[in-house]
Every structure is written in C-alpha cells, then in structure tokens.
Structure 1
Amino acid sequence: MGRIYRDFTELVGNTPLVELARIRTKYNLQSRILAKIEYLNPAGSVKDRTAWGIIREAEKSGRLKPGDLLFDLTSGNTGIGIAAVASARGYRTKFYLRNTISEDKINILRQFGSEIELIENEELFQPHAIHRIIDRIKAENPDAFYTGQRSNDANPQVHFETTGPEIWRDTEGDVDILVATVGTGGTVSGAGRFLKAQKPEIRIVVAEPTPQSVPSPENPDASTIEGVHKVTEVEEGTLPETYDKSVVDEVIAVTTEEARRAALAVAREEGFLVGTSSGAAIFAAIALSRRAENDGKTIAVVFPDSGERYLSLFDAPD
C-alpha cells in the first residue's frame, strides 16, 4: 500500500536505531551499542523534533497566525529545525547565533530565508550572559513569537512522547543505558523520563565537554564540541530550564579531540558521518562499555546530527 506524506512535519521522528557492530569489534567491547540516527530527520537533526513540538503547541494555543515572525537564540540546529517547520507552516524566522558557529549552519539558515544576527563572544562572557541576551532579543522583537527552546516545556515533552517511546519500542524494552549530550537538555530529559517510567533501573548518562573545550574569557578561542554544553560546575542559573538533572545518573567529560576522533571512527567503521556531539556521546558509550559491570548490557546512544554541518571547522583527517 502506498503512502504520500502531507507535509514536512509528518516526516519528523521514527528515526532508525542501528547496532554499531563494527565499533564493538574494533574496541573489543562487551556491551551492545545502538545508535539513534537523528540526522535522518527531514531537516537533519534531533532538533526537528523540538522545533515541531514547540510550533505545534503554539498553534494549538492560538499563539501563532500565518506570516508571524519566530525568533530564538540557538547554536544552529534548533534554528534550522524551526526554520524548516516555519517554512512548511507559513511563518518567518530570525535567529541569534554565536559568532563562532560553523559557516555551514549559517548558510543553511539563509537558504530557508531566515534573518541572522551574530553575537560576539565578549557579550557571551558577561555574567548571566544568556539571560541578558534573551531579555535583549525579546525587547527587540516585541510582536514576534519567542520559541524559547531553553525554557519551553514542549521541548522535553516531545522527546517524552516520541524519542523515548521509539527507543523502547525498537529495543522491545531491552535497553539498560541511554547516552546523550546536552544542548538544552530536552532530549535526555524527555526521553530519559519516559524510559525510567518503563524501567526504573535504566541509567541515563550525559556526555559533557571538559572545561578546556568550553570558550571562556581566559580561552575565548577554545576548540568546542559544537552545540554541546557543560552541566556540571557551571554558573548558577545558567542551566536551561528544560534540563532535568534529576533524570541523569552520571556525567562523563569528553575533550573536543576525543569527540572528533570518536566521530571519525564512526564514519570509517560504520559509514555514518556524524558531528562531534555524536562523537562525544559514542566516546562516553565506549567508556561505559569497557566497565565490567556493563558486560552484556545494551547502550542506546543519540546521534544528534550529521558531520556535514561542521566540515568547514575541521582540518582534513589523516
């Protein structure tokens, strides 16, 4: 029986869960590692779910009407997801981006017709910078809809309703650990909350960048794991409201170089060209798999996006 999809939004979600058998063999691992390939969402990342969840809820509440302007502060992927959904639903978009973001992402946003404003590192390094910037951009766009990925409950909720259930369905409940990175925390919070409701003993693990992999006034040009944020030892009040730390059992620190090498291993062993956020997650999963207590267990890893969005940031690998 044939099926014709009505629009972009019907393609969001139901991404495949793939066993990384060659990675397991390469590193002689005793756990089974499954990757949730989120770059197979229609605009290329896990943030397509977030974008559709936020816009869908705003439409249900009557907050949006055709032609409205949507805006947010984003590291790129959420902006791309929002821009794509907005195009499909008849809205305009404007995004505020860190000035170190990859040119690839900026070009994608411009293809969707989005208005772009870059934010200088100096502003980001000020005390309580995120809150100050959000207040500023809200004041600059008083009649527009702020999608608010860092505070909008629709963000984790869409992962509670889709990402978590998909992992549970596809593994038939045979999953022991979930590994993800944190941008806003929506994925790990929503999916983690669902999985723990089904299986309380499941462990939820976050891969975060080391301090050396995070730009700071002392190290403004730090090589970053793009779109991935620290969740430990951070300034009070800076964690996104959408991140539920009570769901998380463990945090594993990963350097940018470790994330890049792990992403490269996934490309060369499994054929999936992924970004460094995926690299950080698989590095953490490999570390977990090397622990004796995890022998024979199943580890699900979220691969947020494709490496194609970061090629301009990297030197050609050896």
Structure 2
Amino acid sequence: MGRIYDSITELVGNTPLVRLHRYEESEGLQANILGKFEYFNPSGSVKDRAAINMIQEAEYEGKLKPGMTIVDFTSGNTGIATATYANAKGYKYVAVIQPQVSVERSQILKALGAELLQVTDVPGFAEMLKTGLSLARLGDIMNSFAESKGWFYIDQCSNPANARAHINGTGPEIWRDTDGKVDYVVQLVGTGGTLAGLSAYLRTKNPDVKIIGAQPADQSLKNPNFPDRNTLDGVLKFNGVPDDKVPTLFSQFNAYYDECIDVIAEDAYETGRKLVREEGFFVGHSAGAALWTATQIAKRPEAAGKNIVVILADNAFKYLSTNMYK
C-alpha cells in the first residue's frame, strides 16, 4: 500500500516539471522549455506554498493560535490558498479583495467560506489606492485594521515565510528534477516571494543561473479609465517603479533578477490558447505571460540547448470570465 496522507496540508509541493516538446517545435525553438505546473497544488496555484508556510511558521512562533481569524489583502490566489488551509486548521479567513479581480476568484473564496471585504471597508485603503498601491503604506493600514478587530494579519507581501516556501520547496524541486541543469528560471511577480526564494536558493547551487522576471506592459495594467482593456490579473509591475512599490521580499532576501521583460496581455492570452491547443495544458494569465517570456529567451542564440524553467502559476478556470478564453 502506498502512503496515506493525513491532511490536505501534506499535499503541497512536488508539482510536475514538464518539457513542452510540441510547443518548442511549433515555435522553432532550440532551448528546452520546462513548465513547472503549480496548479497541481491542492487549491490550484503556486500560492499554496506560501499560504501553508506562512500559517505554519506563525503557529510555531505563537502568533497564530486556535480560534483566531486570519486577514489579508489579496488578488485571489493567495486568498484562495489561505482560505483552504485555514479551513483545514480550524481558522476563519477574511479577504480584503483587490479591485477588478476575476469574478471566479471571489466565487471560490465565498465557496470556501471566507468573508470578503472591499478596500472601502478598510480605513485609509481607498485613499491610498488613489496614488497607487504602496507596499509600505499597505502594511501600516492592514496592521492597524487587523489590530482593531483582534485578527492576525498574515501579510503575504512582507512575510519572509512566503519566500522561504520557495527556498525550502520549489527551488530544491527544480534543482532535483533537472539534475542541477537549470540555466534560466522565468516568473511573474505578485508579492515577489517566488522570485526572491528561487533567486536565493538557486544562486547558491549555480551562481550563473539567470533569474528572469516578467511584468505587465503599461498598456496591460489595470486602469479605471480603461475598464475594458485586457490585463494580467494577480501580478504587478516591479521593474522601473518607485522604491515603495518594489516588493519588500526582494530586499529581505537580497534577491535580484538578471532581466525583466514587459508582456502585453494579448501576447500572454494567445500563448495560453496556443498551449492548450497544442499540449492540452489549460493555464491562466500569468502562466501565459511567463511562457511567452520564456519563448523570447529561447529564441536567442545563447540559449540554444539550455534549460528554461517556467513557473506556470495556475490554471485557467479562474479566468473564464476574462477575454483570455472567450
């Protein structure tokens, strides 16, 4: 008899790394593109890793105790993951939802029993957003709000346990599954935890590994003046932004990236559609953007024969209401 698991929390990690042969061939690529399919995690995204690790470290440190309520600001995936593991461990979860997230994410959170709040429910939050999200101000506003309610603010944007999940899990998995032959790693950035953790771990194993970030191009950022534009949900612009908008986890882990590539939403959408047509993998916005970015790297002469690992953050079931698969 194989192993019988005791709980859902034991199922996080060890997601498959798949070579996308047909995609490589159709694009005429000479590099090997290896997709890290994070939607095999129990709640369906890479954020499972951060969520369970943040909860477990908070328990170990005595910050999170039985019967408490967890609160966070989320664009969806981290909230869904946190709600999942809060349920498994007996906590309540309150999500302050980022404006304009896909309707499916809110529906999933409700199905998980989470309480949903809008930014207007948090004193000072809506005023902050008028000048753009500031990670430093976000922490102050959310901490004050959580303290006023007696809740535990899990703080995915600044919690080092977020990045440690990738130092302890994702990074070693990639290293093991490639037999140490990883030349590039491509990912988008929300909190910055994945990039920070992978940079910290993989550079200790191979100082020459290239950490490639990707971000929405300006025309693919959410903008209330253009509500109908195609955007990349759940990820942020991090390169070429003011210091208060750079992910806090980058500096905490002395993480750096070798290159950042801007991605237009339409290119990400078409890449996702192409992947499902040719390989059968049904991925979301950021996964499409990451794969498009990897394709640009793979076309370079210096990448011939190299291994490019792409973090495919989630599947597309949360994006059916968007233009990606219409």
TM range (shorter): over 0.9
- Which of 213, 218, 223 aligns to 1:211? It is 218
Match of 2:41 in 1: 41
Paired position in structure 2 for 1:141: 146
Give the share of equivalent positions with the same residue, in percent: 43
The alignment status of 1:227 with 2:234, answered yes or no, reads yes
Count of aligned pairs between the two proteins: 317
Alpha-carbon distance in structure 2 between the residues aligned to 1:125 and 1:271: 41
State the distance in 2 between where 1:191 and 1:246 align.
9
2:209 — aligned with what? 202
Q: Secondary structure at the match of 1:237?
A: helix
Match of 2:259 in 1: 250
Task: Tell me the amino acid that sits aligned with residue 87 of structure 1.
Answer: N
Out of 224-233 and 119-128, give the one that drifted further: 119-128
- The match for 1:63 is 63
Cα offsets for 1:272-305 (capped at 9, x unmatched)? 1100100010000000000011111110000000
Q: Secondary structure, in 3 states, of the residue corresponding to 1:48?
A: helix
Contact kept? 1:73, 1:134, Cα under 8 Å: no
Structure 1 residues 257 and 127: alpha-carbon distance in aligned structure 2, compared to 1, 3 A threshold: closer
Partner of 1:264: 273
- In 2 relative to 1, CA 164–290 (structure 1 residues): closer, same or farther, beyond 3 Å? same
Partner of 1:53: 53
SS across alignment from 2:34: strand
**Corresponding position of 2:199:** 192
Q: CA deviation at 1:147?
A: 0.6
Checking the alignment, whether the CA contact within 8 Å between 1:184 and 1:243 is kept in structure 2 is no
8 Å CA contact retained: 2:135, 2:248: no
Residues 134-177 of structure 1: per-residue CA shift (max 9 Å, x gap): 43333232111111111001011110010000000001011110
Cα shift at 1:126: 2.2
Of 6-15 and 59-68, deviating more is 59-68
Matched letter for residue 61 of structure 2: S
Aligned to 1:300: 309
Letter in 2 for 1:277: S
Residues 170 and 198 in structure 2, CA contact (< 8 A), matched pair in contact too: yes
Q: Tell me, what secondary structure is at the counterpart of 2:211?
A: strand
Q: Which residue of 2 aligns with 1:178?
A: 185
Q: Is the 1:75–1:97 contact (alpha carbons within 8 Å) kept by the matching residues of 2?
A: yes
Deviation at 1:222? 4.1
Q: Distance in 2 between matches of 1:265 and 1:118?
A: 35
The alignment partner of 1:107 has SS state of: helix
Alignment of 1:61-210 (within 5 A): 61-119=61-119, 123=127, 124-126=129-131, 129-142=134-147, 143-210=150-217
Residue 15 of structure 1: aligned partner: 15
Structure 1 stretch displaced more, 245-254 or 184-193 = 245-254
Which of 115-124 and 36-45 deviates more? Answer: 115-124
* RMSD of Structure 2 on Structure 1 (CA): 1.8
Structure 1 unpaired stretches of 5+: none
2:114 maps to a residue whose letter is S
Is the CA contact 1:125–1:217 (under 8 Å) kept in the aligned structure 2? Answer: no
C-alpha distance in structure 2 between counterparts of 1:279 and 1:302, whole Å: 10
Q: Please tell me whether residue 285 in structure 1 is matched to residue 294 in structure 2.
A: yes
1:179 and 1:205 in contact (8 A); partners too: yes
Looking at structure 1, the residues matched to 290 and 88 of structure 2 have their Cα atoms a distance apart, in angstroms, of 31
111-120 vs 67-76, greater mean Cα deviation: 111-120
Kindly provide the amino acid, as one letter, of the partner of residue 303 in structure 1. Answer: L
SS at match of 1:225: coil
Q: TM-score, normalising length from structure 1? A: 0.95
Q: Post-superposition shift, 1:218?
A: 5.4
CA 1:315–1:225 in structure 2 vs 1: closer, same or farther (change >3 Å)? closer
Residue 221 of structure 1: CA displacement?
5.2
Conserved? CA contact 1:273–1:306, under 8 Å = yes
